[in-house]
């Protein structure tokens, strides 16, 4: 019965990028379809893709997507601890939606009093969430068998123990070694933790499922838990990606017959989910690149968000990308900047307090008559706004830094007017503008305005709104996973009190 209280379920992984987030999204949708009131939870997330909650706080984008699939508003209790990498060794720590400072990996994972404070915070967040929703769909992080981090782990089996969760191990068969990774992940656990693992899901299978029937039996025999399902790899269902590893397959080239949109591939690119709707427009060929030749072929260039504006601005100046963008703009290409990309398009970026690092000031691309000063406080909020003269737009802001018009500079009008009457962004002309608003390209009216100079002879856009498209994709994902997962067995596992 949908009103019965279920134990939480945790999707733990044999490694990173095995598909835990997508399976969790599917289960959020399935439980909702079956009459439950589910919610996602990931104690600690490391990602540059983040999202603003309705109350103006910050969580990982993956949990916002899962909440959307579950049909509930996202909340910081769904992802109380977010790490946003700012270098190979340092991350900004966001606790309960607010940044609390930067920390090196060694200090973060050190076993001390501060680590236990974080543990108590994520436990409290789970407890609050569990009192409001049923069931909780939990997600682990990386591999559950990182033995050197066992004592400091906040997100995997120690979290499952606190939650009383039933753990399902997710293994990626596409990368090979599925027997060793699944068996080893279980065998390396303590006897106490081994008892928490109630089943296995094999993910990303390619080919005829009948060929793995023997493999399924072998896994159940050696691991001593059931295989709940073998989920085939899919390409025709579109769920927003969690991290930039997914961008490797999107670094193709310009093509003829479509509007070519080049998103500059920054080293610290963030919130590339901004381009999901534009990417699926039939008139558009969108690709990520830092190749100078491919930049020159674009009709539209987008400078995206970044966790490290100054570092990425320095890098694109060093590697020739900045020069290629300026050359393309001079030849008629539209250039749009979003968040960090907007900051880069200005005259300069100042960092007097060293918020981003040791570089205190760097010249921008000079395309917009604005200057940016980095500040320690972060703006995080959802917004409704008018884009130029187009009403009814929505998006969200997540940024550090304040951008203002250069005194005595060229004319720069506001790109957007927010619902509270304040303004955002800078508009020079239809080929040159920038904004702090993420999700601005989720609004069809903005896309139509952006493509208008190029798309008159191209295919017509789909009438389906981006929100309707996403809801459709969640249903397709749920159907796909439900077909290949033993849901009666999963419900039985989640109902048992062993």
> In three state form, how does the secondary structure of 95-156 look?
ECCEEEEEEEHHHHCCCCHHHHHHHHHHHHHHHHHHHHCECEEEECCCCCCCHHHHHHCCCC
Token duo for residue 103: 């920390």
Label residue 247 exposed, middle or buried (CB < 10 Å: 0-12, 13-18, 19+): middle
To the nearest 10°, the Cα dihedral for 32, 198, 221, 189?
Answer: 140
Q: Which residues of 156-177 are buried (b: 16+ CB within 10 A; e: fewer)?
A: bbbbbeebebbbbbbbbbeeee
- Measured CA to CA in angstroms, residue 343 lies from 52, 98, 216, 369 at distances of 20, 22, 52, 11
Is-contact 430 329, C-beta < 8 A? no
Q: Which of 7, 75, 268, 438 is catalytic?
A: 438
Find out whether 43 and 78 touch, Cβ atoms under 8 Å.
Answer: no
Handedness of CA 342, 345, 347, 351 (dihedral sign): positive
DSSP 8-state secondary structure symbol assigned to residue 165: P
Q: Which two tokens stand for residue 73?
A: 């508003």
> What is the rounded CA–CA span in Å between residue 495 and residue 291?
54
Give the span between the Cα atoms of 52 and 373, in whole angstroms: 22
CA angle 397, 438, 473 (to 5 degrees): 125
Structure tokens that stand for 387 in this block: 């884009």
Q: Are 186 and 223 in contact (CB under 8 A)?
A: yes
Q: Cβ distance 277 to 441 under 8 Å?
A: yes
Same fold, 9-238+472-495 and 258-457: yes
pLDDT of residue 252: 74
Phi, psi of 425 (to 5 degrees): 80, 180
Helix (H) or strand (E) holding 445: helix 444-451
| Predicted local distance difference test score (pLDDT) of residue 246 | 59
Q: How far apart are CA 2 and CA 307, in angstroms?
A: 42
The listed CATH number (3.90.1300.10, 3.40.50.880, 3.60.20.30, 3.40.50.920) that belongs to domain 258-457: 3.40.50.880
Rounded Cα–Cα distance for residues 175 and 433 (Å): 42
Distance of CA 417 to the CA centre of its chain: 27
List the strands of the sheet with 98-104, edge to edge: 44-46, 81-85, 90-95, 98-104
pLDDT at 458: 56
Of 67, 161, 74, 69, nearest in space to 119 by CA: 161
Cβ contacts of 75 within 8 Å, gap of 6 or more? 53, 55, 59, 67, 129
pLDDT of res. 408: 72
Q: What pLDDT is stored for residue 39 in this prediction? A: 98
438 as an active site residue: the answer is yes
- Please tell me which residue in 223, 339, 393, 412 is annotated as part of the active site: 339
* Residue 497, strand partner residues: none
**Long-range own/partner contacts, residues 314-319 (CB < 8 A, 24 or more apart):** 314/359, 314/362, 315/266, 315/267, 316/264, 316/266, 316/290, 316/344, 317/362, 319/290
Do the strands 90-95 and 81-85 form a parallel or antiparallel pair, or are they unpaired? antiparallel
At 247 the pLDDT is 60
In the chain, where the domains are located: 9-238+472-495, 258-457
Q: What is the pLDDT, as a whole number, of residue 407?
A: 75
pLDDT of residue 85: 85
Per-residue pLDDT of the chain (498 residues; tens, 9 = 90+): 577 899 999 999 999 999 999 999 999 999 999 999 999 999 999 988 899 999 999 999 999 999 999 999 999 999 999 998 877 778 889 999 999 888 876 677 677 778 899 999 999 999 999 999 999 999 999 999 999 888 899 999 999 999 999 999 999 999 899 999 999 999 999 999 999 999 999 999 999 999 899 999 999 999 999 999 999 999 889 898 765 555 655 667 889 889 999 999 999 999 989 999 999 899 999 999 999 999 999 999 999 999 999 999 999 999 999 999 999 999 999 999 999 999 999 999 999 988 888 889 999 999 999 999 998 889 999 999 999 999 999 999 999 999 999 877 677 899 999 999 999 999 999 999 999 999 999 999 999 999 998 866 555 555 568 889 999 999 999 999 999 999 999 999 999 987
Classified as helix, coil or strand, 380 is strand
CATH code 3.40.50.300 for 9-238+472-495: yes
DSSP conformation letters of 427-443: EEETTEEEES-BTGGGS
∠ CA 47-41-3, nearest 5°, is: 155
pLDDT of residue 213: 93
pLDDT of residue 241: 73
Report whether 454 contacts 299 (CB < 8 A): yes
- What pLDDT shows up at residue 460? 56
Please say whether the beta carbons of 451 and 443 come within 8 A: no
pTM: 0.86
């Amino acid at each position: 019965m949908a009103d019965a209280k279920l134990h939480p379920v945790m999707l733990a992984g044999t490694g990173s990028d095995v598909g835990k987030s997508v399976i969790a999204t599917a289960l959020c949708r399935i439980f909702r379809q079956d009459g439950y009131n589910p919610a996602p939870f990931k104690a600690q997330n490391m990602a540059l893709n983040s999202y603003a909650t309705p109350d103006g706080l910050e969580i990982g984008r993956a949990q916002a997507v899962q909440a959307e699939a579950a049909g509930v508003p996202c909340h910081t209790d769904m992802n109380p601890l977010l790490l946003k990498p700012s270098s190979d060794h340092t991350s900004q720590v966001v606790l309960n939606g607010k940044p609390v400072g930067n920390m090196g990996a060694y200090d973060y994972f050190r076993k001390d009093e501060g680590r236990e404070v974080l543990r108590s915070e994520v436990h409290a967040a789970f407890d609050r969430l569990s009192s409001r929703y049923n069931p909780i769909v939990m997600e682990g992080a990386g591999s559950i068998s990182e033995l050197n981090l066992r004592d400091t782990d906040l997100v995997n089996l120690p979290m499952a123990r606190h939650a009383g969760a039933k753990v399902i191990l997710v293994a990626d068969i596409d990368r090979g070694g599925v027997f060793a990774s699944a068996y080893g992940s279980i065998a390396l656990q303590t006897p106490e933790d081994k008892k928490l693992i109630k089943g296995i899901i094999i993910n990303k299978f390619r080919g005829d499922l009948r060929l793995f029937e023997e493999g399924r039996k072998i896994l159940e025999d050696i691991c001593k838990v059931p295989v709940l399902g073998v989920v085939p790899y899919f390409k025709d269902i579109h769920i927003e990606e969690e991290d930039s590893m997914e961008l490797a397959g999107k670094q193709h080239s310009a093509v003829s017959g479509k509007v070519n949109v080049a998103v500059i591939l920054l080293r610290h690119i963030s919130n590339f989910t901004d381009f999901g709707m534009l990417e699926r427009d039939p008139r558009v060929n969108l690709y990520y690149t830092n190749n100078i030749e491919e930049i020159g072929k674009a009709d539209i260039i987008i400078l995206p968000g970044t966790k490290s504006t100054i570092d990425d601005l320095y890098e694109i100046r060093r590697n020739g990308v900045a020069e290629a963008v300026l050359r393309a703009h001079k030849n008629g290409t539209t250039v749009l900047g979003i968040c960090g990309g907007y900051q880069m398009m200005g005259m300069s970026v100042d960092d007097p307090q060293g918020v981003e690092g040791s570089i205190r000031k760097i010249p921008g691309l000079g395309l917009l008559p604005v200057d940016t000063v980095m500040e320690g406080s972060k703006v995080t909020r959802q917004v409704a706004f008018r884009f130029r003269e187009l009403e009814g737009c929505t998006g969200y802001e997540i940024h550090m830094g304040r951008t203002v018009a250069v005194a005595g500079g060229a004319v720069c009008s506001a790109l957007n007017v927010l619902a509270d009457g304040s303004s955002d962004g800078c508009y020079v002309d239809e080929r040159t503008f920038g904004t702090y608003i993420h999700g601005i390209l989720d609004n069809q009216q903005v896309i139509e305005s952006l493509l208008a100079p190029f798309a008159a002879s191209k295919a017509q856009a789909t009438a389906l709104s981006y929100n309707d498209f996403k809801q459709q994709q969640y249903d397709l994902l749920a159907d796909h996973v439900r077909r290949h997962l033993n849901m009666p067995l999963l419900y039985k596992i989640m109902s048992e009190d062993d």
